[in-house]
Amino acid sequence: MKQETFVYFIGTAGSGKSTLTNNFKQWMLNQGLDSITVNLDPGAENLPYDPDVDIRDWISLKEIMETYELGPNGAQIAAADMLALNTEDIKKSIESFKSDYIFIDTPGQLELFVFREAGKYIVKFLNPKKTIIGYLLDPSLAKSASGFVSQLLLSISTNFRIGRPQINILSKADMLTDQELEQVLKWSEEPERLSSDIMDEKASLYREMSENLSKLVNDFQNQSKLYPTNKDQKGIEDIYTQIQLQFQGGEDLLSD
């Protein structure tokens, strides 16, 4: 029996999760492939796509603030925990579409999904078998050697917390110059070069910490491979291919 593939887009605020969710859905449509989008951010505003399944149909951030007399941050935390209470309804709604691919746009603040038990529970409940994480690295934070290391550390932490196969995606790659993009990709492929470039940065406690973190990242070298994408959907086919390779033996929809 065919089983849906769940793809969760996770990253720091502003990393481009909603944009990539929209672009991936459009790319699938252009290929004649079936997919749906799911918004799990109750505080989302002005999404670039119309979600097929939307957590805002069950959870209202404004109502949480009024009912529990919470500020925006407190309401976001409460809403993140409430996600788990609505998982059954979310799953039924997703299943009603009988789609092949489910693209899930997670809350803007990474920590609300990755570091709270509700996020891990949702991933396990919806589909524990064919689930993959697309972790988005923000190019504006990754174009320095130390910044790149800190981004990879968050990626590794996400992989450790969620415990599912993961692909690292350099989102909004068109924000970088050709030279900056080439540099970031070299760091992802050559850990020694990354360590060397960190050493060349101005001496500081931050640099010293980055040196130690780079050694940790080297132990997880398989986590540093990057797939750049941009607003013109460049790179999405590569990501799709990697998803197919992860679930070898599954059906490649492009082969139809």
Query: Residues with Cβ < 8 Å from 51, sequence gap 6 or more?
Result: 37, 38, 39, 105
pLDDT of residue 178: 94
Kindly give the parts of the chain with pLDDT less than 70: 1-2, 201-224, 248-256
| Domain residue extents for the chain | 5-138+163-175+224-250
Alpha carbon distance 85, 60 (integer Å): 14
Rounded distance between C-alpha atoms, residue 101 and residue 127, angstroms: 12
pLDDT for the residue numbered 222 = 56
* 118 touches 80 (CB < 8 A): yes
pLDDT in tens, 86-141: 999 999 999 999 999 999 999 988 999 999 999 999 999 999 889 999 999 999 98
pLDDT of residue 215: 61
- What is the model's pTM? 0.90
Q: In this predicted structure, what is the pLDDT of residue 1?
A: 46
List the CATH code of the domain at 5-138+163-175+224-250: 3.40.50.300
Contact yes or no for 100/2 (Cβ under 8 A): yes
The reported pLDDT for the residue numbered 23 is 96
Nearest to 163 by CA among 114, 222, 116, 126: 114
**What does DSSP assign to residue 184?**
H
- 3-state SS, 239-253, equals HHHHHHHHCCCCCCH
